[in-house]
A and B are shown apart, each in its own frame.
Chain A
């Protein structure tokens, strides 16, 4: 039950993009086509899960025993940057087809604040390892949901005639706002 609440909360109620404002850059950047947004979502799901596990272990077995918990930010960003590089190299050798699908998005992920955000959030929320993994996967699914819906809307938006000033970023933000309004309907479920 506890895990179901974590999942519903992370996917719908506290959606990472539309309620917590993390990962806005890829949300606006790679959402012009459904295809690329699916690729990006896959890459985020992959990296966010591994990064959360690794940073969780580092926090609890390296930083806290050494009494340097305040080095969290520095340690995490280094680990995430190194991890993304490693995943890229391993994927290239081990599964060229998966690398083909996710490859272009991997370098972009280091600066995706959703990854670092989730890694810090699981520590703040005092989750155990299994809860952290469930939370990370659910967050990534929430990201994917928002991104793919948004990409679908933007594809049809290309065909609409807009006032000059609203083209590009402004209309994308207004659409994201309407989407956030829709997601607010989930408030109170958990």
Chain B
């Protein structure tokens, strides 16, 4: 597999959210707006890339029996770094995402890539895999966030498209998250089949 397909597979073919159905909790919980979704996606991307790099560096040192706990500790360390830096530099976004930042640690995508890819491949390709998967996830979250924001409040990235009296508030609330994701997955399936 060339490095380019290694990078791009996360966007459509193996999109973590739409195709692999991983990382549902943050996808539903943080996408009240496109910006929040993007922020969550980028935080996850950082953890994915750094965890993939570190794990592929230490893969030969860690005995196979204790690899999962070791991976979890590595991931949790990077999550703590993200949590503390976001609290320091982006307090508003940090308050919006709240609980979901420490919960990146139990996001199946991160451990999934560590186990399925980084523990078997070189540092370089693990970094690219992490970046591709992370950006694919960010793209999915931003798209879901944008759909919910447009339908729910008539805005996207805080730019008003139509007055919010025509908007359906339910899309910003909890049920709208399920509806929007359900229909997006169905549309994505359709696009993937056509290709």
Contacts and interface: CB of A to CB of B under 8 A. Distances in A.
Nearest to A72: B102
B183 A120 contact: no
Given A70-B80, A73-B79, A173-B185, A24 B102 contact: no
B108 interface: yes
B178 A176 contact: yes
Nearest to B173: A184
Interface string B80-109: 100110000000000000010011011110
B25 A21 contact: yes
A114 B187 CA distance: 29
A21 B174 contact: yes
Q: Looking at chain B's contact residues, is the secondary structure mostly helix, strand, loop, or mixed?
A: helix
B72 interface: yes
Contacts of B103: 22, 113, 116-117, 120
Given A77-B72, A78-B72, A116-B103, A180 B174 contact: yes
A24 B25 contact: yes
A113 B105 CA distance: 9
Given A24-B28, A28-B21, A116 B105 contact: yes
B69 to A, nearest CB: 6
B106 A113 contact: yes
Contact of B178 (A73, A116, A180): A180
A77 B102 CA distance: 10
A74 B76 contact: yes
A73 B175 contact: no
B182 to A, nearest CB: 3
Contacts of A74: 73, 76-77, 80
Interface of A: 18-25, 28, 70-74, 77-78, 81, 110-113, 116-117, 120-121, 124, 165-166, 169-174, 176-178, 180-181, 183-184
Given A111-B108, A120-B102, 8 more contacts: A25-B25, A73-B83, A73-B102, A78-B69, A113-B25, A116-B103, A116-B106, A166-B182
